[in-house]
Amino acid sequence: MKVVIQRVLQSAVTVNGDVVGHIGQGLCILAAIAPTDTESDLDWMARKIATLRIFEDDAGKMNRSLTDVGGSALIVSQFTLLADCTTGRRPSFTGAGDPTHAEQLYCRFLTKVAALGIPVEHGIFGADMRVDITNDGPATFILESPAA
């Protein structure tokens, strides 16, 4: 599993002109499911996101987690994170998961993050989405679940 997380002041996702998910302070998470991803990848990623200390404390140091600040998560599926751009000029998406499998794991991932006490909003899997992000910092991180 691969994600890009951005610390945000606010973020929203729109589909066909309708806002389907919106958060204030928290993390906008762009998530990609690989064909080899398992339940343990989802568990690892959910725990990492909830506890990663990327919010500033009173001294201005990144020392607080999403849980510590009471923030929310906007989780958007984005298979293009798994694109291979090493050869040619057009990305190859053969490394992305089967859509049916990926959607099932994506939905379970939403549930796992919420089960950690984090308010979760989300986009619509497979839809053409517009994501509005007010990045705080800016602070952007790329995480990949460890190989099994």
Nearest in space to 79 (alpha carbons), one of 125, 11, 44, 111: 125
User: Is residue 44 a contact partner of residue 116, using CB atoms and an 8 Å limit?
Assistant: no
Determine whether 104 is an active site residue.
Answer: no
Determine whether 80 is an active site residue.
Answer: yes
From the list 6, 55, 79, 109, the catalytic residue is 79
CA distances from 6 to 21, 27, 62, 64 (A): 16, 5, 14, 15
From the list 38, 80, 93, 111, the catalytic residue is 80
Phi and psi of 84, rounded to 5°? -105, 115
From the list 6, 55, 78, 109, the catalytic residue is 78
Determine whether 79 is an active site residue.
Answer: yes
Which residues have a catalytic role annotated? 78-80
